[in-house]
Amino acid sequence: MIGRILTLMLLVCLASTALAETRYVSDRLEITLRTGTSTQHSIVRMLPSGTRLEVLERDSASGYARVRTPDGTEGWVLARYLMDQPAARDRLAAATEGASSLELRVTDLAAQVEALSGERDALQAQRDGLESELAEVRSELERIRRVSASAVELDNANRELRTRVAAAEQDGTLLRAEIAELKRNTQRDWFVAGAGVLLLGLVLGIVLPRIRWRRRSGWGDL
């Protein structure tokens, strides 16, 4: 029994949800929200044109519909005063507001485009400057490479020259040693020659007087 009651309540809720629709008060200035389905029922409040209403159910016999306002107030209104879309005045206001928003958006986009154009020009100028700096750096690098190559060649030449100088110094040392040896040999030869001449003089000094004396003696005997 309880299960059937719950099922019935669920079906009622589903039916109420299925009947709920969104409608808007027509372009009339105001319509009455009543407690019942006739003019005999009291007025709950006046609903201005464009008020958004949720239709809960319809009474085709009386032409009324039970509705709920955005603040939760429920009541009955004549269904012929309800429309499927907002009033033309509200649509116009919304369209005007949308147009204003679009104009503001267009203005913002134009400002953004201008700002981006300025940034693009600045980036272009920066890129040109960087390209110029890159060209200068490349030129300097090429110059450094040439100088480095010349420095390497100069260093190799210096090393070769130092090697040749060292060899020349070694040859000079050997030559000086040979010259010194030659001088010593020459001095020794001169010394020997002088000693020989002196010795020869002494010999001649001793021998020649004897030869002369013998010759004189021989002549006397004759």
The per-residue pLDDT for 18 is 46
Task: Evaluate if residue 214 carries a pLDDT over 60.
Answer: yes
The CATH number of 14-85 is: 2.30.30.40
Q: What is the CA radius of gyration of the chain?
A: 68
Query: Which tens digits make up the pLDDT trace of 40-89?
Result: 999 999 998 888 999 999 999 999 999 999 999 999 999 998 888 776 65
pLDDT digits (tens, 9 = 90+) for 133-150: 888 888 888 888 888 777
Burial of 51 (0-12, 13-18, 19+ CB in 10 A): buried
pTM: predicted TM-score of the whole model, two decimal places: 0.34
Asked if residue 11 has pLDDT above 70, the reply is no
Please indicate whether residue 163 or residue 101 has the higher confidence score (pLDDT). 163
Are 87 and 29 spatial neighbours (Cβ–Cβ below 8 Å)?
no
Domain boundaries, the chain: 14-85
Q: How many CB atoms lie within 10 A of CB 64?
A: 21
Q: 3-state DSSP call for residue 33?
A: strand
| Residue 91 clears pLDDT 80, i.e. is over it | no
pLDDT digits (tens, 9 = 90+) for 158-207: 788 888 878 878 887 888 888 888 888 888 878 877 777 888 878 777 77
Contacts of 64 (CB under 8 A, 6+ apart): 34, 36, 37, 38, 58, 76, 77, 78, 79
pLDDT higher than 80, residue 1: no
